[in-house]
Amino acid sequence: MPDFELENLCCDLVSERRYEPFLIQLLRTDAGHWQRVLDLAQRSGIDLSQFRDLMMELSVVWLNHPTGDPSYVAILFYDFDSKWTKGADYNFVRVQQQLHDPDEKADK
């Protein structure tokens, strides 16, 4: 599995606006609860089917940020097959309103 492809995709999932519904769905779950990326993407209406083979065993979790800053969370990706991991800081203030208002659109 090409790690650079997986890394690029994970970076896109936490940085590109078009994937905000994925992050909102993730952040609506409890911290520390691992989820399969493909399942989460499907529940959030994001089509990642073209990456299915690459992401079959990819999971994601969010945690409170290690610095204690309440405006940031840590997002971790883990691929079971390759044991590959990727972490990212995420300023969730950007989507905080949408976490509490399910009718709010990510692209506003």
- Sort strands 58-64 and 72-79 into parallel, antiparallel or unpaired: antiparallel
Mean pLDDT of 38-64: 92
Any idea where the domains of the chain sit in the sequence? 3-100
pLDDT tens figures, 66-79: 999 999 999 999 99
Whole-number pLDDT of residue 6: 87
C-alpha span between 99 and 72 (Å, rounded): 14
Find the mean pLDDT for residues 34-40: 95
Q: Residue 107: what pLDDT?
A: 44
Predicted local confidence at residue 3, as pLDDT: 75
CA dihedral 36, 25, 89, 52 (to 10 degrees): 30
